[in-house]
Chain A
Amino acid sequence: MSTQTSPLTSIRRTLSSVDMRAVAPFIALIVLIIAGAMVNPRFVGLDNLANVATRCAFIATIAVGATFVISSGDLDLSVGSMVAFVASVMILFMNTQVFASPLMMVLTAVLLAMALGALCGLFNGVLTTKGQLEPFIVTLGTMGIFRGLTTWLSQGGAITLQAQEQQALYREVYFGRFFGVPWPILITLAVALLGSLLMYRTRFGRHVVAVGSNREVARHSGINVSRVRLYAFMIQGLTVAVAVILYVPRLGSTSSTTGTMWELQAITAVVIGGTALKGGSGRVWGSIAGAFILELVGNIMLLSNFISEYLLLAIQGTIIILAMLVQRSLTRRA
């Protein structure tokens, strides 16, 4: 609290002009990768890193949408159930085989998933804004609704893609590569790029952050707060649909346990990425890093030979808290 300017505080000032909150998750990522390499040299193998990046594609794309919802001051707990519901409807549609051509079937199923995802997001958004309900309660409710509908559609069992031609064709979306890079990684990067353009380069992006910082101020400065929040929920729905489009070709099957706890993983990824849970700031690329960190932690522990399988969750929790503590100490302002 001294009024004098010492050399130390001026250094601190230069440091804080580099936005540490934005950089911190990437530093954590590098630290983790070094730690992983020490635990098991195979960890840094390209195949392993590609596996992990591909696996985190679902949470990463969902986290991009969650960044919008959380930055605008809302919360969506229904995304995990939404994944299960949209994926189940998509597979059931593909099983009808209304078109003879497998390619036509897959393409229409993709469009259907996008539309359904947007609708689910719209549903959450309308209830929250027009119904003026707490997003926590609304999405807790829709979490149950989507999960229940999935269980009902599958009668508790599994919904499996039946047509072999469709599966053979569609499988490539998860397992295939483009110039050596798995498709899910490319699609995740594309979603993040679109998300960051929308967040940082458009008026809508600025409005999202403004609405999340202070609703009243945003309203008085002429922003249609309800519409911004509604659109954020729809973007969340669309990113869930993208995650579904990547998810279905992997196992070609859903069950009533598909996507359980994914909402918490997505929210954790967003927060690790530097977005404040109370709204008012959005870090799209940080959320991607957060999702990657989450998946890496599990991967490193599995590849290690010295961590008891019983302690996995405890260590995972510790690492997340440590990462957040480091981030907080880096971003603390004088």
Chain B
Amino acid sequence: MRKTIFGALLASASFVSTAFAADLTIGVSIPAADHGWTSGVVFHANRIAEEVMGSYDDVEVIVKTSPDPASQANALQDLEIQGIDALVILPTDPDALVNAIMEVKSKGTFVALVDRAPSNNDDSVRDLYVAGNNYGLGEAAGEYIAENNPDAKVVVIRGMPIPIDQERQDGFDAGIEGSNVEVLDRQFGNWNRDDAFRVMQDYLTKFDDIDVVWCQDDDMAVGVLQAIEQSQRDDIQYVIGGAGSKDMIKMVMDGDPMMPVDVLYPPAMVGTAIEMTVAGLMGQLPVAGVYTIDATLVTPENAEEYYFPDSPF
């Protein structure tokens, strides 16, 4: 009992202090770093939070990570108790959290949703939606291949059978449309480097002549490159991944012939959402709406802009 009273006192004390210390408090709720991409999200959320607090004395940014939807719902409540004016959220599972998000929004809090959207993604759920472009990620890779190797024979390694993977495939097919690019095979590599290694080894057994590998993910590219190196085959001209991990961006930057370009699906988009939220609330700018980030093609010329050597991803 004493503990709960003490806890309540402590909670209200911290509530009072944050509420008075800052004119504007922004809560950032993101998934815990459980794989490469989310570790990038955590890195960039903290990086931009510090940058924002460094440039505004009266803005407080609180970053909270949660491993699953249930704990993220609790984290939202904790943030609410601290009196946030705006919430930036990348939900672990958007449909599971949609009610919790609407609850926050119903209190007049500005809500910016990042990347993962619930089925009813309209202005009753959020004010701003910052989205990555899965279709564009496939399209950019497809267009690059169609432009540079219009007669290429391509093997594709997919992620998992879920909607965002299908969007990437549809984009890729649109990108190569009209060219002579031939897709030899598509198999799932589960966005896992070991599975990608296995699939690539089998592709090399199955096909005598492969020009390009599109594996749409930088983690899988690690396994693909190893399998190619082991086979000592020289028919494969290059591999295209996606997302923008520091290792693959570095290869592009160094002009590695096996990795001429990469396609962005940047975890830094959480930072975009934080900055736009600050701009909206501090600068009285209109930011509500949907902002889709381009799947930018990373080339040796622009790679440096997207290289974060300190990030875990």
User: Number of B interface residues, CB 8 Å?
Assistant: 37
Count of inter-chain pairs, beta carbons less than 8 A? 90
CB of A250 closer than 8 Å to a CB of B? yes
User: With A258-B194, A302-B206 as given contacts, are A155 and B161 in contact (CB-CB < 8 Å)?
Assistant: no
CB of A136 closer than 8 Å to a CB of B? no
Chain B residues within an 8 Å CB radius of A331: none
CB of A224 closer than 8 Å to a CB of B? no
Q: Mark B165-201, 1 if CB is under 8 A from A, else 0.
A: 0000000000000000000001110011110011101
Closest to A310 in B: B161
User: With A55-B198, A151-B34 as given contacts, are A158 and B187 in contact (CB-CB < 8 Å)?
Assistant: no
A292 to chain B, nearest CB (A): 14
A260 & B192 in contact (Cβ 8 Å cutoff): yes
User: With A40-B206, A253-B222, A299-B202 as given contacts, are A158 and B194 in contact (CB-CB < 8 Å)?
Assistant: no
The CA of A142 and the CA of B198, in the complex, are separated in Å by 28
Chain A residues within an 8 Å CB radius of B299: none
The CA of A154 and the CA of B33, in the complex, are separated in Å by 9
Chain A residues within an 8 Å CB radius of B280: none
Most buried by B among A151, A160, A310: A151
Contact of B39 among A48, A155, A160 (CB under 8 A): A155
B33 & A157 in contact (Cβ 8 Å cutoff): yes
User: With A40-B206, A47-B205, A299-B202 as given contacts, are A157 and B193 in contact (CB-CB < 8 Å)?
Assistant: no
Chain B residues within an 8 Å CB radius of A16: none
Contact of B205 among A51, A253, A255 (CB under 8 A): A51
User: With A260-B192, A310-B161 as given contacts, are A156 and B247 in contact (CB-CB < 8 Å)?
Assistant: no
The CA of A258 and the CA of B192, in the complex, are separated in Å by 8
Contact of B35 among A55, A257, A302, A309 (CB under 8 A): A257
CB of A298 closer than 8 Å to a CB of B? yes
A255 & B36 in contact (Cβ 8 Å cutoff): yes
A residues lining the B interface (CB < 8 Å):
40, 42-43, 45, 47-48, 51, 55, 151, 154-158, 160, 175, 250-251, 253, 255-258, 260, 298-299, 302-303, 309-310, 312
Closest to B36 in A: A157
B residues lining the A interface (CB < 8 Å):
32-36, 38-40, 42-43, 158, 161, 186-188, 191-194, 197-199, 201-203, 205-206, 219, 222-223, 226, 230, 245, 247, 311-313
A251 & B193 in contact (Cβ 8 Å cutoff): yes
- Inter-chain pairs besides A158-B36, A251-B197, A251-B222, 7 sampled, C-beta below 8 Å: A51-B202, A156-B32, A251-B194, A251-B223, A257-B35, A260-B192, A303-B206
Contact of A250 among B35, B226, B311, B313 (CB under 8 A): B226
Most buried by B among A51, A157, A302: A157
B40 & A309 in contact (Cβ 8 Å cutoff): no
Chain B residues within an 8 Å CB radius of A45: 205
Closest to B65 in A: A156
B193 & A255 in contact (Cβ 8 Å cutoff): yes
Chain A residues within an 8 Å CB radius of B245: 158
Contact of B219 among A43, A255, A260 (CB under 8 A): A255
The CA of A299 and the CA of B205, in the complex, are separated in Å by 10
User: With A156-B36, A156-B312, A175-B230 as given contacts, are A48 and B205 in contact (CB-CB < 8 Å)?
Assistant: yes
